[in-house]
Amino acid sequence: MEFLDLDYTIGKRGLTYADLRFNSFDLAKHWGQQNIDAKSLADFRKRIEPDEQYTLDYLVAKLGFNPTDES
């Protein structure tokens, strides 16, 4: 999945589509999620819920931010 890099858009006006930057959100590579079906996603939710930091990193990345960026 690809998400808009929101950091890049803050404070800018008149961006065209060509100006936009995107973050890659690879469920398999970064989150260990190989399938996107109802059961697999339910299992994924159960896997991330017990680990608060992992869950927050996932949500931050999904929103288009870099979870390792401390700024």
pLDDT at 17: 92
- Taking 50 as the pLDDT cut, the residues of the chain under it are none
Alpha helices in 1-71 (DSSP H): 6-9, 27-31, 38-48, 52-62
Which pLDDT score, from 0 to 100, does residue 29 have?
84
pTM, whole model, 2 decimals?
0.62
Give the domain ranges of the chain.
2-62
- DSSP conformational letter for 5: -
- Single-letter code of the amino acid located at 41: L
The predicted structure's pLDDT at residue 49: 92
pLDDT at position 8 is 82
Mean pLDDT score of the chain? 86
Q: Please report the pLDDT score of residue 33 as a whole number.
A: 87
Element (H, E) at 27: helix 27-31
